[in-house]
Structure 1
């Protein structure tokens, strides 16, 4: 089924919004790296049970998954700008609560803060969809990729803030880093106030075109393929990335080598965004997403071929580039499968399924690595990629329609 209606494009507003969202992504996207970098270390000091030390990081993923549907509801009824300002407020509160948990030596309060950080991330993750409002075709695909460039900046800002602020509050290591997390959310607030969006009551299709129920949309092969592509791209990336540092250290490599591998992986995740939009315009979003899945499969093949540090690093770089192509391609596919009136519920359902899978991957990767080993992690990647790659290649082989 082809897209039945698209709002008239407004290039001026679209260009302004895409840059606003790119800057907001740079601030808001640093939220997760701060929690991921420090959650386990703080958990090690505060957790009453050694088995719970990674719980704060897992709660970030859980909060992200649980927050997607409420975020979609808020934006559907009150508009994107109101929703994003609420999200930034949640981000400020989450950082301050996490810092308070450290100051009070309360593991429970700290976990509450990281879970709320996940709710903030559920708003941040939808910036990529907001960039497609008031755009069509090629401009829509370029806008998605441009906003993802903000993620590259966030990947640099987050770890650097951890280094600069971890001892900012005397006697409470790492509390300062979570205060800086709240400051970043506060900086995003005035930026997002510059966003120009339509009133939620004005977002509707032309006369005679009814808004489809979500269940009907969910049965659309086009939308299902877009969801599956996003689930596999993001889910497998999280699954492998979570296990990689532990596997590297377990195979005799140093913690510094493991950290450097993750740093290159994160750069590989976002750096291609400078060209991903152009590639989608030239070759089609399905083709770019298919190449992304092939790269994810290739990363597993490299990881299975040996345990030298080069095997781990090359696999992580391929995994990062594959995620970029696969996830941005999937985002463009979702954005092209609904009308403006349907966008909030369709995008919210997509993110709930994608980030619900990410949460499950985050919880399961460590235990599966411990019980079955690094090879099993990577063998699981190959059939999962093949399952989605086959219908994606079939669709990509059809003529490009934008």
Structure 2
């Protein structure tokens, strides 16, 4: 694996580091010495450019990087990185270490983040190229500039689009039951409109993904604005004319729009460098923060308007929101060829088979789906538990508001955390937080403890949901029909959400609040076992983790 080299790739001021590199340059350093070196995370920073000092001419000998089997070579200033024998684009994750490509006035550098502690041991005299040290070593300033690469403008458009999606969802949750109660022929039918909304969301997810694969995301997002406008018109007429059937239709249109809008997080990653994909997903999901504030405000402010029936104006607000959604997506750039052109359709069962048969894809899907299911189940039951403890409704609402903020606020920096510690750690962290929340709920029976449990639950959902989405985009990036796999992912999430919506009250009756949390712990442990096995298998097969 290591080629013979008569010269070290750079000179170091530290004797210890220099000794390690002499060991590395040896044609056969031995497995133990090699393992010790890799564990030391003394990363190789080598600038393959004529402006950098170092071995003259093209570098033809591969050098081992601290990631277990990452090798790069450079020919005439062209940098290529191979991880476990597979070519990688600069910016992809290699093992738990992230590589990135930074450009200064001339050089191209490949940097691994664990090397930051080692940088001070090298020469501190700056070279004539800004941001570099002698011998082609990128300075800390260059490293930071590479990791501060800005997200494209379209990411912010999808952030706004996701905000509208989440606002409509929050408004629907707050209005559906009350509006249904006022129009339903019988009391037990009050939640039927909301049930049809979830049913439509579940049914539309996969066909929407197929349409995106054939027509491109932009056209589907533009078309999805129409159901939101129809929901506004139908909901307004339903409340004014006291029509329960029209109310059901309005919520079905809402379900169709929300189902399409959920793809904003995946659309934000199209054409984005691999290192920025987690940040793009994270930012788009953070649109829920706006919804957590704007949704309840719009619902309560427009609930009673003089001259209109209750909630008529609230439903009518969906019409201008649909127009705004159309305008936002009209400003979005055209789809990348990989998204909008010639899809390689697998079909529903073909995509489902791939999800089940590929451990990493299955882990990505279940991380988001089970994380969402546990969050949804315990969020609904927490309201019932607070009611059983005679906690005032206003206090319970405040606790849920803190929970929603905990769900979406971390999304502003979850992407950067993934870049720093890797997807493996973020998913493990999400599972751990979900388990911690359940343990808190089992042993806590006061308002403060339940609120704290809800906050931890929201954080766990954020890590599992964003981490699962980021992992899914990475492992399916070069697969045929990857947009369809995203559709299967969202459909499974919708099925889980529907099941928890229908079973929350039944599970509250038996096995009760504590029993439901214990079941959730068991599910999290199972997900954790799957994660360990999937990541271990990926490492053994020689793919980046």
Residue 181 of structure 1, aligned match among 310, 318, 338: 318
Aligned-partner Cα distance in 1 for 2:245–2:506: 23
Residue 326 of structure 1, aligned match among 453, 456, 464: 464
Kindly indicate whether the alpha-carbon contact (under 8 Å) linking 2:352 and 2:488 is maintained by their aligned counterparts in 1.
no
Residue 184 of structure 2, aligned match among 25, 42, 47: 47
The answer for the alignment partner of 1:92 in structure 2 is 229
TM-score by length of 2: 0.68
Aligned-partner Cα distance in 2 for 1:395–1:221: 5
Corresponding position: 1:71 with 2:204? no
Corresponding position: 1:61 with 2:198? yes
Using a 3 Å threshold, how does the CA distance of structure 1 residues 77 and 298 change in structure 2: closer, same or farther? same
Residue 248 of structure 2, aligned match among 96, 99, 111: 111
Kindly indicate whether the alpha-carbon contact (under 8 Å) linking 1:8 and 1:134 is maintained by their aligned counterparts in 2.
no
The CA deviation at 1:341 is 4.3
The alignment partner of 1:30 has SS state of helix
The CA deviation at 1:333 is 1.1
The alignment partner of 1:133 has SS state of coil
* Higher helix residue share: 1
The CA deviation at 1:201 is 5.4
The answer for the alignment partner of 1:367 in structure 2 is 506
The CA deviation at 1:71 is 0.9
Which protein, 1 or 2, shows the higher relative CO under an 8 Å CA cutoff with sep ≥ 6? Answer: 1
Aligned-partner Cα distance in 1 for 2:265–2:411: 12
The alignment partner of 1:51 has SS state of helix
The answer for the alignment partner of 1:271 in structure 2 is 409
The alignment partner of 1:170 has SS state of coil
The CA deviation at 1:304 is 0.8
Aligned-partner Cα distance in 2 for 1:211–1:358: 25
The alignment partner of 1:128 has SS state of helix
Using a 3 Å threshold, how does the CA distance of structure 1 residues 48 and 322 change in structure 2: closer, same or farther? same
Q: Which runs of 5+ in 2 are unaligned?
A: 1-83, 92-147
Using a 3 Å threshold, how does the CA distance of structure 1 residues 107 and 165 change in structure 2: closer, same or farther? same
Aligned-partner Cα distance in 2 for 1:100–1:169: 16
The answer for the alignment partner of 1:347 in structure 2 is 486
Kindly indicate whether the alpha-carbon contact (under 8 Å) linking 2:368 and 2:465 is maintained by their aligned counterparts in 1.
yes
Aligned-partner Cα distance in 2 for 1:13–1:308: 44
Matched positions, count:
396
The answer for the alignment partner of 1:379 in structure 2 is 518
Corresponding position: 1:226 with 2:370? no
Kindly indicate whether the alpha-carbon contact (under 8 Å) linking 1:61 and 1:362 is maintained by their aligned counterparts in 2.
no
Aligned-partner Cα distance in 2 for 1:277–1:138: 9
After superposition, the CA RMSD in angstroms is 2.7
Q: Which runs of 5+ in 1 are unaligned?
A: none
Kindly indicate whether the alpha-carbon contact (under 8 Å) linking 1:295 and 1:322 is maintained by their aligned counterparts in 2.
yes
CA offsets per residue over residues 66-85 of structure 1, 9 Å max, x none?
11012112211111000001
Aligned-partner Cα distance in 1 for 2:190–2:397: 19
Using a 3 Å threshold, how does the CA distance of structure 1 residues 361 and 83 change in structure 2: closer, same or farther? same
The CA deviation at 1:332 is 0.7
The CA deviation at 1:371 is 4.3
The CA deviation at 1:23 is 1.2
Deviates more, 1:185-194 or 1:320-329: 185-194
Kindly indicate whether the alpha-carbon contact (under 8 Å) linking 2:154 and 2:332 is maintained by their aligned counterparts in 1.
yes
Kindly indicate whether the alpha-carbon contact (under 8 Å) linking 2:271 and 2:336 is maintained by their aligned counterparts in 1.
no
The CA deviation at 1:295 is 0.8
Aligned-partner Cα distance in 2 for 1:77–1:12: 31
Deviates more, 1:94-103 or 1:15-24: 94-103
Corresponding position: 1:307 with 2:445? yes
Using a 3 Å threshold, how does the CA distance of structure 1 residues 203 and 289 change in structure 2: closer, same or farther? farther
Kindly indicate whether the alpha-carbon contact (under 8 Å) linking 1:14 and 1:133 is maintained by their aligned counterparts in 2.
no
The answer for the alignment partner of 2:527 in structure 1 is 388
The CA deviation at 1:351 is 0.7
Q: Greater Rg, structure 1 or structure 2?
A: 2
The CA deviation at 1:5 is 9.7
Aligned-partner Cα distance in 2 for 1:308–1:86: 47
The alignment partner of 1:48 has SS state of coil
Deviates more, 1:105-114 or 1:13-22: 13-22
Using a 3 Å threshold, how does the CA distance of structure 1 residues 46 and 85 change in structure 2: closer, same or farther? same
Aligned-partner Cα distance in 1 for 2:489–2:227: 22
Using a 3 Å threshold, how does the CA distance of structure 1 residues 96 and 292 change in structure 2: closer, same or farther? same
Aligned-partner Cα distance in 2 for 1:247–1:55: 24
Deviates more, 1:227-236 or 1:41-50: 41-50
